[in-house]
Amino acid sequence: MPTQIHDIVEAYEHAYDRNWDQMDPPTAKELAVFCPEAKSPAESEKKLKEYSRLREVNVFGPGYVPGDMINRDPTYQSLKEQVRPKLKEMTLSDQAYAVAEINRIVWEALQPNLIFRELVTIWHTNNPTYRFIRAILIPRAYDVAEASEIPIAGEKYDYVDVTMRKIGVRPQISRELVEDAVWDVVARQLAEGGRAMAQKENELGIAILNTAATSGNNYQGYGLTQAAGTSGVLAYNDIVKAIGQLRGQNAFPDTLVVNPAEEASVLQDSNFINAFYFGGLMKKALGPQEFFGQMLGFRTLTSTLQPAGTSLLLDTARACGFVIRRDVTVEHLIDPIKDLSGAAFTSRINLGVLRYLAICAVTSD
């Protein structure tokens, strides 16, 4: 556990961006910035000396200035303007305003793998509605008899409109929590706000992909289904059959999305285990935590956000487009009545399924 003087050293080095030199220690003016303004400079110096338990020459150094002059010193004023914004980044204790002991590891909550943006093509727009133009009739060439008219290329188009939706979250932090916390609670809340936005985005997108496409929902969801051969078990053969269905629609599957329950089933299948001998195991070892191997040339991703009993095999280049009008933005909020501060996270996004026949749901429940 760091001593109190080590906390002062850490605060000094963070604020001034330089190391504490025992041969040339900080001056009184530099250290006075760490004392509360409400108290007299002399009293602050005394408390700081007592707190550090060092001799005056070691604390204040050769640049010592009498306490009653520090607050009027222009150098001190410029130091205060330079250093105070940096000190706000750190949590300070109530004892001589030395930096509190920092717990450098915050235990992570059990969080789902956020895989959604791996499943889509991403498009940016400045409009509230984004229109995807789709070719629905591909031109064909024909045999042409001598002196006969050459057929017209009859490519036809339709479109899918994607209207933006807004998501948001607003973490709030009390001043007491900021003052008393033993870790950087503000940075933690900002990081968690961003993670919560990503999780909501994943939940919305994966829910749409796991919806059966019908004319009633403008064919937003999967268009093909493959029932597992054994209830409760996702097997290699089930995935191969799903590949056949997608290929029959001229789609080329490149990604399989499963719940951990289905991951456990597949990892016990000897056919999948044999694939490890061709490099999949190395990809598992080196890949991100949501990636659990490679099978038949496509990626396999796992997340608890994917419903158990249903796996998705899809052609990510053709299946859907994820439109971003405004990606995650953060605004600082202050509530002086309740003495709270916080941040508002918002984004405007939506998913449009463009080829529902490029998505196959493999059901094993």
- The answer, yes or no, to whether residue 55 has pLDDT greater than 70, is no
Check residue 182 and give its pLDDT.
61
How many Cα neighbours within 13 Å face the side chain of 110? Answer: 3
Closest CA to 253 of 85, 88, 119: 119
pLDDT for the residue 286: 44
Specify which of 51-65, 84-98, 124-138, 252-266 reaches the highest per-range mean pLDDT.
Answer: 252-266
The Cα 236–Cα 241 span in angstroms is 9
Would you say 162 and 350 are in contact if contact means Cβ atoms under 8 Å apart?
yes
pLDDT interval class at 323 (50, 70, 90)? very high
Query: Which one of 85-89, 174-178, 278-282 scores highest in mean pLDDT?
Result: 174-178
Asked whether 273 and 252 are in contact (CB, 8 A), the reply is: no
Please say whether the beta carbons of 113 and 255 come within 8 A: no
Dig out the tokens for 2 from the structure: 């760091």
Q: Is the pLDDT of residue 59 over 60?
A: no
What count of other Cβ atoms lies within 10 Å of the Cβ of residue 144? 10
Lowest mean pLDDT among 64-68, 77-81, 237-241, 326-330: 64-68
What pLDDT does 188 receive?
Answer: 77
Q: What would the mean pLDDT of 135-145 be, rounded to a whole number?
A: 83
**Mean of per-residue pLDDT scores for the chain:** 78
Question: Domains in the chain, ordered, with CATH?
Answer: 4-87 (no CATH), 116-363 (3.30.2400.10)
Q: What pLDDT score was predicted for residue 47?
A: 58
CA distances from 65 to 18, 50, 83, 154, 205 (A): 21, 18, 19, 88, 63
Is the pLDDT at 191 greater than 60? The verdict is yes
**pTM greater than the 0.75 cutoff:** no
pLDDT tier, 223 (very low <50, low <70, confident <90, very high otherwise) = very high
Give yes or no for residue 138 having a pLDDT over 70: yes
- Say if strands 298-302 and 291-295 run parallel, antiparallel, or are unpaired: antiparallel
pLDDT of the residue at 39: 54
Q: Which residues of 147-165 are buried (b: 16+ CB within 10 A; e: fewer)?
A: eeeeeeeeeeeeebebebe
For the ranges 22-31, 217-226, 254-263, 304-313, the lowest mean pLDDT is seen at 22-31
Question: Phi/psi at 121 (nearest 5 deg)?
Answer: -90, 140
| Residue-level pLDDT at 70 | 63
* pLDDT value at 175 more than 80: no
CB 276 within 8 A of CB 300: no
Quick one: average pLDDT of 309-330?
93
Is residue 189 within 8 Å of 342, Cβ to Cβ? yes
For residues 101 and 7, the answer to whether their CB atoms sit within 8 Å is yes
Token look-up 């509360």 returns 36
pLDDT of 100-119, one tens digit each? 444 555 666 777 888 899 89
Mean pLDDT of the 140-147 span: 87
Rg (CA), the chain: 31
- Taking only the tens place, the pLDDT of each residue in 62-86 is 555 555 566 667 777 777 777 766 6
CA distance from start to end of the chain: 52
